[in-house]
Amino acid sequence: MNGSPWWRGAVIYQIYPRSFLDTNGDGIGDLPGIVRQLDYVRDLGVDAIWISPFFKSPQRDYGYDVEDYCDVDPMFGALADADRLIEAAHSRRLKVLVDLVLSHTSNRHPWFRESRQDRTNPKANWYVWADASPDGTPPNNWLSVFGGVSWQWDPVRRQYYLHNFFKEQPDLNVHCPDVVAALMDVARFWLERGVDGFRLDAIDCAVHDPELRSNPVRPPDARIPGGLADGAPFGRQIQLHNKGLKDVAPLLLEPLRQVADGYGDILLLGEITGDRAFENVIAYGAAGRGIHMAYTFDLLSAAYRPDAIGDVIDELEVGIADGWPCWSFSNHDIVRAPTRLGGDNPPDTLRRQLPVLLTCLRGSICLYQGCELGLEEADVPFEQLHDPYGIEFWPTFRGRDGCRTPMPWQADAAEAGFTTGTPWLPMADTHRVRAVDVQVGDPASVLASTRRFLTWRREQPALRLGAWSRLEAPAPLFAFERRLDGTSVVCAFNLSDTPATWAIDFELNAPTAPVPQPAVVEGRLVTFQPHGVLVADRR
């Protein structure tokens, strides 16, 4: 469209493969399961799929602890299945993003096994090693996201190694050119197989301060970044020296961009979190040499109020210049949006509104599996939890299992059609009633509503590529305008469960967009139902 890269304005559907569809009855979703449902994905009206890690892994962090970047874990299939998936997606005009973890590996990775043997082997400097302090304690005060210190003593090498996440996930040392060269080979391996880009996991954690300076204490009144467990000690520090360093760009992202650019229109999508997230979104893609875009947890943790959402967007828009935003309301790491924003029993009006609001924002969109069904957070009892993060911080934080439970395909089938065996996480009863087969034939369902709007949006250049500006509207209305080549589209959303009105000082054409709970335009008065939506051309 207008010669823009494919990813600008794209809707990227995130698939968590463990929970998408199981084809062999072991209770765990697999790559053939994704292939089997690609027609469903295509019919949503999305442009691409992002597949969470399926590499060979001990699964301590469910694939984000990689043992072999260039092989498929047997629980998901084989390398040939990955090839078939890429080919099948492309035949349906779907791009494919692979989730690439560049900041750390599993402690079972051959690189780490060699690195820990002594201090002189060829890979001795491939990970972040440090001597103990004189009293035997770690070299500084850095903390792990998942609780406790971020240093683990290794009795073989007789040093500490750094892990920003679990101790089974040692951090790579990308100050070492050989490490960067090896990671570039990994990228080439998947690009040669035909992937269209990478989602770069925790990319702001990829570089550490080589001087190992301790982090400062977070002031008591300072905002704690979203996405953390309630009460996690990680939030008591400002991660100044072990996260979000500007050197990520020249050390890692610029070489990766050079590799990617050699394969054509390839997307590098970063995950960036923490105190300086927006600053780093800009820095990591500056001058077209690093990532193309990134999402942060700012919108993922914002309150459902016009000022909260608008302020997040404005903050990024102020500095991003020619850069490109990326937004999401849900993913595999955070409570599903209907529950997070609507409570334990979110209304269907909210469930239908969320995908439309998200896909009207300026930027590209990540739509997590199940959002198109309006799935709420599943209630997983403690005895059935798998996520070590949730087990560690129970009961104040329940972990990430509630947003990772299996997709419901058939309401009346065993385990809602996800598996013929026992699912790795329980199938939520509240999800079964929202199964795909129930919603697909119901024009009032969240699925039908989302399909209609995304299919329509694909042909709306102003919504995919247009500029963005907020409009003044009384709360609880959130209103903005998208403009491109003389076309102006007004988007307004009632973020409450009570009716609202808006007296506008401009004129609108009669709305034709297929939106849920459509607002009524009578001259210059717009009336909104609970969670009502207005998408209309401005005259």
Sheet of strand 159-162: strand arrangement = 129-130, 159-162, 151-154
Query: Against a cut of 0.85, is the pTM above it?
Result: yes
Q: Where are the domains of the chain?
A: 11-102+177-457, 466-537
Q: Is there a contact between 270 and 282 (Cβ–Cβ < 8 Å)?
A: no
pLDDT for res 420: 98
Q: Which helix (H) or strand (E) holds 158?
A: none
**Within 13 Å and on the Cβ side, how many CA atoms surround 423?**
26
Gap between the Cα atoms of 365 and 371, Å rounded: 12
Give me the CATH topology for the region 466-537.
Immunoglobulin-like (2.60.40)
Report pLDDT for 224: 87
Smallest CA-to-CA distance from 205 within 297, 101, 286, 298 is with 101
Q: CA-CA distance, 355 to 445, in Å (whole number)?
A: 13
Instruction: List the structure tokens of 7.
Output: 């990813």
Look up 379 and say whether it is catalytic: no
Given 67, 171, 201, 415, which residue is catalytic?
Answer: 201
In the structure encoding, which two tokens stand for residue 134, read together?
């004189």
Per-residue pLDDT of the chain (539 residues; tens, 9 = 90+): 557 999 999 999 999 999 999 999 999 999 999 999 999 999 999 999 999 999 999 999 999 999 999 999 999 999 999 999 999 999 999 999 999 999 999 999 999 999 999 999 999 999 999 999 999 999 999 999 999 999 999 999 999 999 999 999 999 999 999 999 999 999 999 999 999 999 999 999 999 999 999 999 999 888 888 888 888 899 999 999 999 999 999 999 999 999 999 999 999 999 999 999 999 999 999 888 999 999 999 999 999 999 999 999 999 999 898 899 999 999 999 999 999 999 999 999 999 999 999 999 999 999 999 999 999 999 999 999 999 999 999 999 999 999 999 999 999 999 999 999 999 999 999 999 999 999 999 999 999 999 999 999 999 999 999 999 999 999 999 999 999 999 999 999 999 999 999 999 999 999 999 999 999 999 999 999 999 999 999 99
Angle formed at CA 516 by CA 511 and CA 522, multiple of 5 degrees: 35
Is 99 noted as a catalytic residue in this protein? no
Q: Per residue in 414-432, is it b (16+ CB within 10 Å) or e — as a string?
A: ebbbbbeeebbbbbbeebb
Q: Render the burial of 176-196: b for 16+ CB within 10 Å, e for the rest.
A: beebbeebbebbeebbeeebb
| pLDDT at residue number 1 | 52
Query: For residue 288, which of 249, 317, 325 has the smallest C-alpha distance?
Result: 249
Cα 285 to its chain centre, rounded Å, is 18
| Active-site residue (options: 61, 73, 168, 271) | 271
Euclidean distance between CA atoms 151 and 324, whole angstroms: 36
pLDDT at 223: 85
Q: For the domain covering 11-102+177-457, report its CATH number.
A: 3.20.20.80
| pLDDT score, position 264 | 97
> What is the model's pLDDT at position 484?
97
